[in-house]
Structure 1
Amino acid sequence: MSGKTQGNTFRLEVLKARGNGVVTTIENISANATIADLKKQVAQKKPKLYPDRQSYRNEPTGKSVKDTQKLSELNVDKTGKIYFKDLGPQIGWSTVFMAEYAGPLVIYLLFYIRPSIIYGSSASSKPMHLAAHLGAACWTFHYAKRILETIFVHRFSHSTMPIFNLFKNCGYYWGFTAMVAYFVNHPKYTPPLFGSAQVFLGLAIFLINELGNLSIHLLLRNLRPPGTTERRIPYPNKTNPFTNLFHFVSCPNYTYEVGSWLGFSLMTQTLTAFLFTIAGTVQMTVWAKQKHRAYKKDFADKYPKQRKSIIPFII
């Protein structure tokens, strides 16, 4: 009989969350086993379904449960059933990020040298405005920083993501890079309306926000012990004033990211740069709201009530 306990073990049916059918049956699994343990046992029976590809829930349409939860905590030992969702082929987060960020670095610099196939044979001999030079330097700095952060700073709560995200994310970053770089590096590029004052103001805004973004990433890294998925409430670091933005928002790294691209857009004064900034702001606002809700849910009454998600006092 499904779910019948034998001592501290029971028989578990792993059912498809969508459609009918049994994925597999685990005999004599411990009620104290975690979802992570279950994933390993399923992978042994179904090698194609490696642990990172598996997701489980109590009900066919319910929310995914955490790897650390025990089957007994989910009452699975009583029902003898759990519902499985195939997340599809997976790829490492770091691999995706490296592809996302290396592409823009290379693509932008290709436009910066004004290849004849894009701009014509005489383009490289025409003078380039200071804003275009600084634009290339800032773009290179930003994506080189992202690559180094991926290698040395970020600690991911999940080791993989669906492989489809590689194509979606690269399409977004690489496509916008080509659009922005084409106009900033164009031989007919029109300089900013207010000249050098606007260029250097935009540059200052960009650099300040890049430093702020790095400060937040370093603080977040130190919140999560290596090799764990532990979550803690982030608070400002008294030794770094850039982290004081945590007094007002849950995701200051996104706030600073938006600030960086606003500075870049002001410095280069191109429509495509502003469109890139708007698109990024919309997406980061969605992510920030999700993380803000997760913080409030996970920490309930402990989470600072004055914080917004990304824009102080507003959103």
Structure 2
Amino acid sequence: MASKTLTFSVRPRGKPLHKLPEELSLSSASTSSDLYTQLASSTKTSIHRLRITKGSDGSFIPNTSSRPVSDTGLRDGSSIYVKDLGPQISWRLVYVLEYLGPLLIHPLLYFLLPSSSSPTLLQTLSCTLITLHFLKRELETLFLHRFSSATMPLFNLFKNSAHYWLLAGLNIAFWTYRSSSPAAGDSNPWITWPSVALYVIGELGNLNAHLVLRSLRSSGGNERGIPHGFGFGLVTCPNYMFETLAWVGICGVTWSVASVLFATVAVGQMAIWAQKREVRYRREFGGKYQKKRSVMLPGLW
């Protein structure tokens, strides 16, 4: 079928964009990525700052080269709204900066806080496990993860970083490495070493899940697939399940309420993400996807 020219009415949403055209014409064979490219070129704005929605129902039009613009529901004469999302920062850099906080804070306070005696076994183990956890995250961010979105609004960086720098960094470190900390006392081997074992299982399981997820997306692509493998037949997001196991192990070593607080907040947030992913899998893949009763913790959530 021969392609035809589609002309759209263009309107700003929120703050007006400089030189935003009132109309835009594209071939019906063009992709939604071409739509973003033309608007970015016209407004002299980074393509990552733009969010385009349909005027008919307000639904989001994704920036992808795999979807013809005619498949988005847009027709000749349709209206589109264009929003400037503001200054952006790459997701990869976001994660690097988030995890850098606890990665630096824990070794620093481990050496600075104890005043009357050397760090105990539990304090040394706590620093080692937490530092390795965030070092692993940094390495995965730099060399393993493939992101579906290139950037996020710069303003969100400060909110996201506070979660790690304050809750996982300063809060846990301050209450764990002080001489009056419960971790400054003697360890109970019946609790400490099973906790370390749980941590190791959690970290290795989490790494395996990330490797599976990486294999579903090509470099620079944003395609999605159905993950299979260890843990994926049990819950929607085994990466979150194993992350939880690792933090249960850390809590068993630190004996810190601060660790429990961070783990509780983190698990709650991961549970929300896991539920959304289950909904998305069911919507995108239909009968091809085996529905899960538990999205993160078997029999619990």
Give the TM-score of the pair, scaled to structure 2.
0.91
Deviations 1:101-145 (A, max 9, x none): 11110011111012xxxx5xxx44413221110000001110110
**Structure 2: how far apart are the matches of 1:263 and 1:42?**
50
The residue that corresponds to 2:199 in the other structure is 206
**Structure 2: how far apart are the matches of 1:23 and 1:193?**
67
The residue that corresponds to 2:119 in the other structure is 128
Instruction: Tell me the secondary structure at the aligned position of residue 10 of structure 2.
Output: strand
Pairing 1:112-191 to 2, within 5 Å after superposition: 112-114=110-112, 119=113, 123-176=114-167, 177-191=169-183
Instruction: Tell me the secondary structure at the aligned position of residue 80 of structure 2.
Output: strand
Deviations 1:33-71 (A, max 9, x none): 2221011111111113x2111112223762312223323
How far off its partner does 1:17 sit?
Answer: 3.7
Q: Is residue 188 of structure 2 the alignment partner of residue 195 of structure 1?
A: yes
Decide whether aligned partners of structure 1 residues 10 and 224 sit closer, same or farther in structure 2, where only a CA change above 3 A counts. closer
Instruction: Tell me the secondary structure at the aligned position of residue 32 of structure 1.
Output: coil
> What runs of 5+ residues in structure 2 fail to find an aligned partner?
none
Q: Is residue 247 of structure 2 the alignment partner of residue 261 of structure 1?
A: yes
Deviations 1:240-292 (A, max 9, x none): xxx2x111111110111111111100111111000011000111111111111
The residue that corresponds to 2:97 in the other structure is 99
**Structure 2: how far apart are the matches of 1:194 and 1:113?**
20
The residue that corresponds to 2:295 in the other structure is 309
| 2:50–2:83 contact (8 Å) kept in structure 1 | yes
How many pairs are equivalent? 294
- Amino acid in the other structure paired with 2:62: K
Instruction: Tell me the secondary structure at the aligned position of residue 76 of structure 1.
Output: coil
**Structure 2: how far apart are the matches of 1:274 and 1:301?**
39
Decide whether aligned partners of structure 1 residues 17 and 187 sit closer, same or farther in structure 2, where only a CA change above 3 A counts. same
Instruction: Tell me the secondary structure at the aligned position of residue 106 of structure 1.
Output: helix
Aligned match of 1:59 in 55, 60, 69?
A: 55
The answer to which of 193-202 and 271-280 deviates more is: 193-202
Q: Is residue 280 of structure 2 the alignment partner of residue 294 of structure 1?
A: yes
| 1:250–1:310 contact (8 Å) kept in structure 2 | yes
- Amino acid in the other structure paired with 1:152: F
> What runs of 5+ residues in structure 1 fail to find an aligned partner?
1-6, 237-242
Instruction: Tell me the secondary structure at the aligned position of residue 213 of structure 2.
Output: helix
Instruction: Tell me the secondary structure at the aligned position of residue 118 of structure 2.
Output: coil
The residue that corresponds to 1:15 in the other structure is 11
| 1:18–1:60 contact (8 Å) kept in structure 2 | no
Give the TM-score of the pair, scaled to structure 1.
0.87
- Alignment root-mean-square deviation, CA: 2.1
- Amino acid in the other structure paired with 1:39: Y
Instruction: Tell me the secondary structure at the aligned position of residue 223 of structure 1.
Output: coil
The answer to which of 154-163 and 59-68 deviates more is: 59-68
Instruction: Tell me the secondary structure at the aligned position of residue 300 of structure 2.
Output: coil
Instruction: Tell me the secondary structure at the aligned position of residue 142 of structure 1.
Output: helix
**Structure 1: how far apart are the matches of 2:83 and 2:257?**
42
Pairing 1:208-247 to 2, within 5 Å after superposition: 208-236=201-229, 243=230, 245-247=231-233
| 2:171–2:258 contact (8 Å) kept in structure 1 | yes
The residue that corresponds to 1:42 in the other structure is 39
**Structure 1: how far apart are the matches of 2:78 and 2:58?**
17
- Amino acid in the other structure paired with 1:293: V
**Structure 1: how far apart are the matches of 2:140 and 2:37?**
31
Decide whether aligned partners of structure 1 residues 200 and 80 sit closer, same or farther in structure 2, where only a CA change above 3 A counts. same
Decide whether aligned partners of structure 1 residues 105 and 194 sit closer, same or farther in structure 2, where only a CA change above 3 A counts. closer
